[in-house]
Homo-oligomer: A and B are copies of this chain.
Amino acid sequence: MSDDTYERGRERFLEVHDEKALATVEGLGDLGRAIVEFAYGDVYSRHGLTLRDREIAAVAALVATGRSSQIPQHLRASLKAGLTPDELREIILQTATIAGFPPAMNAMSTLKTVLAGRGEDR
């Protein structure tokens, strides 16, 4: 892929997440590069779905597959994209019907921690 894709991905990544998250991803070598280029320079840069909608899908998919390491990052990205804490609670509850209560319980605890870290309990 071209340098352009990487640059576009880097900018998009910073809009969705933040500098600290980017540093983590860029610390993963060629996997980090692939994430920046493909996930952010390509998929997340596409038109046709708002960032808010993309984050609904990302949170639901991460909760359903139990990928606990990436959930805090995408809960923060969801809040940045305009989803409210209450909407995130609904998404997690909705996911419980599809993937069971255990992953939803974990995600709800994580959301509490994320919100507390922002000094915002609801």
Binding site for B on A (CB under 8 A): 1-2, 5, 25, 27-32, 34-35, 37-39, 42-44, 46, 48-49, 53-54, 56-67, 69-70, 86-87, 89-106, 108-109, 112
| Given A5-B1, A31-B92, A70-B105: A97 touches B38 (CB 8 Å cut-off) | yes
B46-A90 in contact (CB<8A): yes
With A29-B89, A48-B86 in contact, do A101 and B42 touch (Cβ < 8 Å)? no
Asked if A93 and B43 make an inter-chain contact with CB atoms under 8 angstroms apart, the answer reads yes
Q: Are B99 and A31 in contact, with the CB atoms below 8 A?
A: no
A98 close to B34 (CB less than 8 A): no
Name the residue on B nearest A94 (C-beta).
B57
